[in-house]
Structure 1
Amino acid sequence: MFRSILLLALQVAATSASTVVYNWNIEWATAAPDGFHRPVISVNGQWPCPAIEVNIGSRVILNVVNRLQNETTAVHFHGLFQTGSSQMDGPARVAQCPISPGSSFTYNFTINQPGTYWYHAHIGAQYIDGFRGPIIRVLTVEDWYHEQAPLLLEYYQSPLNEDLHGGAEPVPNATLINGAQNIQFPITPGRTYLFRIINIGSFAAQFVQFEEHDMTIVEMDGVYTKPYKVSQLFLTAAQRYTVLVKAKPTNSRNFAIVVSMPLGMFAPSVIPSKLNNNATAYLVYDNAKSLPEPFMMTYQDSAPDDLVFAPYDPQPLLDPVTVPITFTISFGPNNQNQNRAYFNNISFTPQKVPTLYTALSAPPDIVNDPKIYGPNSNPYVLPYGAIVQLTVINTDSGPHPFHLHSHDFQVLARSPPGVDGTTLVIPSSFPGGAPMRRDTILIYGGGAAILRFKVDNPGISLFHCHIEWHVEAGLTATFIEAPTQLQQLGLVIPRNHKETCYKLGIPMSGNAAGNTDDWTDLRGANTEPPLQNWGALVMRPRKRQLARRHF
């Protein structure tokens, strides 16, 4: 079994056979994982943030206190379906109000899925500042920035960036492994090790390769797969893999693990002059022997092709399709000359009332009307039991990793880069007899993909690009799943969830504009983002500061 030498200390107050309680103070600390000292968001002063460790069937009670003083926060548990607990999913202004400074907030849900998952802040690009961690001990890979998120986000979404750099995304400064560099994993000859690998980064994809050791993939994004041997992995932001690695029979030498961030996604004009896009860890067979020099990685064209994998429990093709949806991705300036992202010419903007609270408070005869959720939430009301087919056409030149909350999805087809997505067809058969499933899929620049899922989890499910800059630029759609059945669940909104809404003056009932008298009257609903978007920052700076490192 895979053994990590990292001290991922559990912040556990009490543990029983069925319940694990965590008490977290979310607070600032200082770290220098690549030698550059900067503020980071920590848990109880610990960074990298600790793992949440639970077993199948366990209930997690996570008591959060926001001690950041200058920022709100919210926690999303990536990949967990939150069946029957949509109020615990975490996206701010969608499933909850932001957690204001000084406020307490309780997440309470049951883990009923095997696999590899993680948590991260889901507000204002905040997890760029380090508020992210695994759910179970793993090997994490991530991009790392030297500037703080509010500064980068405000400039990224500014008209000045649109004018000078065409709206280019900020580029990371470094790559990390387990929040550090030069990590060592002790290895015993002859054993087989299980590595759970997560890209917890906010922008960049990562290639992963173990020197002279193959990896056998057995799980991806919570879906166990038929064993498939590879020599190199490719992970977009938010993707996860579990692999088996067979140790060498002797301890004659040690070996390197190299993680490499490809540069093709970055605008050349804003790449930092001292970007370190590689990180190294080590398989240490013998502490007395020297560590090897990192090898030069050659990216394999086949590494990103996850359609070759077959689920271990083959799910038949979901059919017939009852709700077809086509999304066309585009980018361009809005009326304020901010570079925004669009699904079908709509750029997502959070509404005055969190979408879940609109669904819970709406009269039964109007809860299925998508208009009440506000046009700029990009809402789609999906009836219970529907088979949804998403055709996602990427007109942008860059690739995008798309993630669906509350589900995994079948990937039926995906075109290569630059191939007209309108000609994409579903094949007559799939490797292993069933479509590949996962919850985060890369769609190539100029390409397309066809995905399917079943509406069987009443709640609010976001579908969005997992490049954090594009989330903030509006590349998000909102699925209101089975709202009639959602109301019948009788979800309980905890008292401290309500208190942080009251503290911030956010209404918990009404349509997107907060109107409870006339649910069709959306005057006052949010249609444009703020001209100066400082993310989770509470107190805005008096004047704009420039992100010197990147622009």
Structure 2
Amino acid sequence: TAPNTGRTVKYDFTVSYQQIAPDGVVKNGLVVNGAFPGPMIEANWGDNIEVTVHNNLTDEGTSLHWHGLLQVGTPWFDGVPSVGQCPIAPGKTMVYNFKADMYGTTWYHSHYSAQYAGGALGPIVIHGPKIANYDEDLGPIMLSDWYHSDYFTLVNVTMQGGLPLSNNNLINGKANYPCASTSASCTPNAGISKFQFQTGKKYLLRLINTSAEGIQKFTIDGHNFTVIANDFVPIKPYTTSVITLGVGQRSDVIVTAVGAAKSSYYMRADLGTFGAGCSATDGVAPEGVAAIYYQGADTTVVPTSTSGLTTAQLTNCANDPLSETVALCPITPAAKPATTKEIDIVFKSNGTNFVWYMNDYSFHGDYNSPVLSDVKANNLTFPNEWNVFNFGSNSSVRMVVYNTFAFSAHPMHLHGHNYHVLAEGFGTWDGVVTNPNNTQRRDVQLVAPAQDANTPAYIVIQFNQDNPGVWPFHCHIAWHVSGGLYINVLERPADIQKLTFPSVVADTCSSWNTWTSTNIPDQIDSGL
């Protein structure tokens, strides 16, 4: 349980349009306070975080989601339009106020359509108990596939049944790009991120996959990692040479600086090429690099180190085995949960184009009617396209999630919880739980691609219903959630009705309803 520090940290954010060129190629992007990535939110465990968000976008709403924070008692501040709030209307403001109830590394991002794929995102660091020894905290290292088209164009490609291909891969918002490969305005050698190491020291790296689609394979030439946390959950340390991160996942890792003085090495984030990796890239620049310079090294000279990433590692579209990722603080999930639900992920035609379904329905939200507010008003009958799974007052929920699609993994994210990951595999789950007394817990887990048309992949997750709210459970690939790969988990509706909603919830909806009375939102996707 988080302490109560009595302290509130305050931030003031403006979301706006801006031409940006993080890799030298100019595109129409979205920024927070004029920057991509946006400013870092920093707090201590138990602080309150207050963020005033201004929507400076002229023709669309926005919202910000604070990924992985549980929002216990504040489900309306989770930042998901059509679920916990109405969008923030153009020219309007919403003040979010929530507790830093977890500690570690995460990020915030717009949850309105695929705005975050256009740049509306930034890192969050919440300081807490030190769970391992290191000498220096290098801070967030954000890994992001990158697209030279604006986000709305890419959503339109998605909704026409197409597949957007990423054009580059960024580390902390920076990369170079071969300008001969684009007809857009392009500045060569835009610059890469740089880090300083000192021989013998141990460094904490806070890795975050902020991509729209890509599974990142993170390495440092000639160095290994000790993994100490996945998402917000500390784990028993283990050593590896490559970190696999699906969209939305984080890993805190420690690197021992084993290089000599004056040496330099590449840090790499690899997406692979289409068909020879786990991500949909155009093949021009699927590897992002940053430079690490040891004491005395010439920082104007690029490293000459070589990658040790193998083809087998690059093409393994799954997280590290559950047997290796054991929580530091054991929590034993209920052997017999109160309710179990099987959920099939299917890619099929809606009669016009191919979209994503979870248990026969493809999600489409109503910005003017947030599910949480409907529950508060005791409206518990929902359109099928809202994909609401009402788990009532059950004490615990188990979900067996089957991916029937053979060409993509899905990073499955649940809001409001760190869930237990009981099992993963192919075919039909046999009921065996990995590490039954101390399962891995996190808020995003990859379900692998299906082996073939008759052999789905699966993950089995479980959580206690200890946080009344309406919690999104969705694939974190931006194009997949745009295409409907999403359900709402309705948790303890009777207790939601007992909560006192702050006036900002109704005020934001009032402003949005006024704006939409004379403006029609161009909602071509699910809305999220």
Give the TM-score, by structure 2 length. 0.85
**Counterpart for residue 424 of structure 1:** 430
**Counterpart for residue 111 of structure 1:** 100
Per-residue deviation, 1:535: 6.2
Q: How does 1:22-421 map to 2 (within 5 A)?
A: 22-136=11-125, 137-158=139-160, 167-181=161-175, 182-248=192-258, 250-264=260-274, 272=282, 275-289=284-298, 290-293=301-304, 295-296=306-307, 297-301=309-313, 304-307=319-322, 308-335=324-351, 337-351=352-366, 352-362=368-378, 369=380, 372-384=381-393, 386-397=395-406, 398-415=408-425, 419-420=426-427
Q: Secondary structure at the match of 2:123?
A: strand
Candidates 492, 513, 519, aligned match of 1:502: 513
Per-residue deviation, 1:327: 0.3
Asked whether the 8 Å contact 2:365–2:527 carries over to 1, the reply is no
Per-residue deviation, 1:306: 4.0
Asked whether the 8 Å contact 1:413–1:424 carries over to 2, the reply is no
Q: Secondary structure at the match of 2:503?
A: coil
**Counterpart for residue 441 of structure 1:** 445
| Counterpart Cα distance in 2 of 1:241 and 1:389 | 25
Q: Return 490-499 or 143-152, whichever deviates more.
A: 490-499
After TM superposition, which residue ranges in structure 1, 4 or more long, deviate above 6 angstroms?
265-268
**Counterpart for residue 20 of structure 1:** 9
Once the two structures are superposed, residues 513-549 of structure 1 have per-residue CA deviations (whole angstroms, 9 ceiling, x without a partner) of xxxxxxxxxxxxxxxx98955969xxxxxxxxxxxxx
Asked whether the 8 Å contact 1:265–1:399 carries over to 2, the reply is no
Instruction: Name the aligned partner's letter for residue 111 of structure 1.
Output: A
Instruction: Name the aligned partner's letter for residue 170 of structure 1.
Output: P
Once the two structures are superposed, residues 413-452 of structure 1 have per-residue CA deviations (whole angstroms, 9 ceiling, x without a partner) of 100xxx31x243323x518x51111111111111111111
Once the two structures are superposed, residues 394-422 of structure 1 have per-residue CA deviations (whole angstroms, 9 ceiling, x without a partner) of 1111211110000011111100xxx31x2
CA RMSD between the two structures: 2.4
Residues 400 and 338 of structure 1, relative CA distance in 2, 3 Å threshold:
same
Asked whether the 8 Å contact 1:104–1:496 carries over to 2, the reply is no
Q: Return 397-406 or 244-253, whichever deviates more.
A: 244-253
Asked whether the 8 Å contact 2:361–2:387 carries over to 1, the reply is yes
Once the two structures are superposed, residues 163-189 of structure 1 have per-residue CA deviations (whole angstroms, 9 ceiling, x without a partner) of xxxx23201100000010221111122
**Counterpart for residue 540 of structure 1:** none
Residues 216 and 323 of structure 1, relative CA distance in 2, 3 Å threshold:
same
Q: Return 344-353 or 395-404, whichever deviates more.
A: 344-353
Once the two structures are superposed, residues 21-44 of structure 1 have per-residue CA deviations (whole angstroms, 9 ceiling, x without a partner) of 111121122221112111221122
Per-residue deviation, 1:47: 2.1
Q: Does 1:458 align with 2:468?
A: yes
Q: Between the two proteins, what is the percent identity of the paired residues?
A: 31
| Counterpart Cα distance in 2 of 1:129 and 1:501 | 22
Asked whether the 8 Å contact 1:319–1:387 carries over to 2, the reply is no
| Counterpart Cα distance in 2 of 1:464 and 1:426 | 24
| Counterpart Cα distance in 2 of 1:502 and 1:70 | 14
Once the two structures are superposed, residues 77-107 of structure 1 have per-residue CA deviations (whole angstroms, 9 ceiling, x without a partner) of 1101101000000111111111111111111
Asked whether the 8 Å contact 2:319–2:445 carries over to 1, the reply is no
| Counterpart Cα distance in 1 of 2:410 and 2:116 | 18
Residues 104 and 258 of structure 1, relative CA distance in 2, 3 Å threshold:
same
Asked whether the 8 Å contact 2:210–2:248 carries over to 1, the reply is yes
Structure 2 unaligned runs (5+)? 126-138, 176-191, 451-456
Asked whether the 8 Å contact 2:393–2:491 carries over to 1, the reply is yes
Per-residue deviation, 1:215: 0.6
| Counterpart Cα distance in 1 of 2:522 and 2:38 | 30
Q: Secondary structure at the match of 1:54?
A: strand
Instruction: Name the aligned partner's letter for residue 306 of structure 2.
Output: F
Asked whether the 8 Å contact 1:232–1:300 carries over to 2, the reply is no
**Counterpart for residue 497 of structure 2:** 487
Instruction: Name the aligned partner's letter for residue 26 of structure 2.
Output: H
Once the two structures are superposed, residues 208-242 of structure 1 have per-residue CA deviations (whole angstroms, 9 ceiling, x without a partner) of 00111111000011000011111111111111000
Instruction: Name the aligned partner's letter for residue 185 of structure 1.
Output: F
Asked whether the 8 Å contact 1:172–1:275 carries over to 2, the reply is no
Instruction: Name the aligned partner's letter for residue 345 of structure 2.
Output: I
Q: Secondary structure at the match of 1:489?
A: coil
